[in-house]
């Protein structure tokens, strides 16, 4: 347990010390929130869908958690190239504990970033439909963070250079985000897109956040929670296995 705590704390300290990283990670969510929220707001309202900021804000929070958590996996490659990972792996501790500590640290940072962006959406005019459901919204943020931190760790465990990781992330992260329903309603989509969005795990995270924050859920909160839990458990197991096979 001490190993898990130390690695979790290390991830937090690394993030807090990097102020430029903290500020830079807010740039993209702010761009999407302002450019899309206020740019497409009138069009969305004329289409009879209501306030676009109310619809968009949960998706922007999910996007923040997604990007922060999955890119935390790149730190494995960084640590491998600069020798810290070797020092960690040769220590007389379980690699499972090391992976859990890193995953919890990355997920915690992602949730904190999501909370910061949530506060920014309040300034932009977003208002939750039911404030008492905020703990449930936080639970969905945690599940999203754990899921994609584990995915990032699994991918980084089989790569050894930054270019390969970034290439795969571009083919994974952007489709996950744009095909999750974060920017558009999932009702009335073509059959192909409907199938893709149902296979996208982030769709259930976005839907869970939207259901808890604005009381509008496409799949249903129960299904969202169940699918996220199962996929998170699977990816944690897969990430642990691949991390245990890292050669030093």
**pLDDT score of 20:** 53
pLDDT-derived band at 44 (thresholds 50, 70, 90) equals confident
Reduce the secondary structure of the chain to three states and give it as a string.
CHHHHHHHHHHHHHHHHCHHHHHHCCHHHHHHHHHHHHHCHHHHHHCCCCCHHHHHHHHHHHHHHHHHHHHHHHHHHHHHHCCHHHHHHCCCCCHHHHHHHHHHHHHHHHHHHHHHHHHHHHHHCCCCCCHHHHHHHHHHHHHHHHHHHHHHHHHHHCCCCHHHHHHHHHHHHHHHHHCCCCCCCCCCCCHHHHHHHHHCHHHHHHHHHHHHHHCCCCCCHHHHHHHHHHHHHHHHHHHHHHHHCCCC
> CA-to-CA distance for 19 and 118, rounded, in angstroms?
19
Give tens-digit pLDDT for 196-244.
Answer: 999 999 999 999 999 999 988 889 999 999 999 999 999 988 888 887 7
Q: Which two tokens stand for residue 199?
A: 């296979």
> CA-to-CA distance for 175 and 99, rounded, in angstroms?
26
**pLDDT score of 231:** 94
Give tens-digit pLDDT for 1-11.
Answer: 565 656 656 66
Q: Which of 13-27, 56-70, 128-142 has the lowest mean pLDDT?
A: 13-27
Q: Which of 3-12, 36-45, 90-99, 109-118 has the lowest mean pLDDT?
A: 3-12
- Specify the pTM: 0.88
- 57 by Cβ neighbours in 10 Å (0-12 / 13-18 / 19+) ranks as buried
Give me the number of domains the chain comprises. Answer: 1
Helical axes 52-70 vs 134-157, angle rounded to 10°: 40
**pLDDT score of 92:** 61
Please state, for a pLDDT cut of 70, what percent of the chain lies above it.
78
Does position 84 have pLDDT exceeding 70, yes or no?
no
Residues spanned by the domain of 205: 2-244
């Amino acid at each position: 347990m001490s190993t898990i705590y130390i690695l979790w704390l290390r991830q937090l300290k690394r993030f807090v010390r990097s102020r430029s990283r903290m500020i830079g990670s807010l740039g993209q969510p702010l761009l999407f929130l302002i450019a899309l929220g206020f740019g497409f707001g009138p069009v969305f309202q004329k289409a009879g869908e209501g306030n676009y900021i109310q619809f968009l804000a949960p998706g922007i929070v999910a996007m923040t958690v997604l990007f922060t958590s999955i890119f935390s996996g790149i730190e494995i490659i960084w640590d491998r190239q600069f020798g810290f990972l070797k020092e960690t792996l040769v220590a007389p501790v379980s690699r499972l504990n090391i992976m859990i500590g890193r995953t919890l640290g990355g997920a915690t940072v992602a949730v904190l970033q999501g909370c910061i962006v949530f506060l920014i959406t309040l300034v932009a005019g977003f208002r939750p439909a039911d404030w008492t459901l905020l703990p449930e919204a936080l639970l969905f943020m945690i599940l999203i963070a754990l899921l994609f931190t584990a995915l990032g760790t699994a991918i980084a465990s089989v790569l050894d250079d930054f270019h390969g990781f970034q290439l795969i992330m571009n083919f994974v992260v952007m489709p996950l985000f744009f095909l999750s329903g974060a920017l558009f309603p999932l009702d009335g989509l073509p059959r192909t897109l409907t199938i893709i969005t149902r296979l996208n795990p982030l769709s259930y995270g976005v839907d869970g956040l939207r259901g808890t924050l604005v009381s509008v859920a496409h799949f249903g909160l129960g299904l969202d929670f169940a699918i996220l839990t199962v996929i998170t458990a699977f990816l944690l197991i897969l990430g642990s296995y691949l991390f245990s096979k890292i050669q030093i």
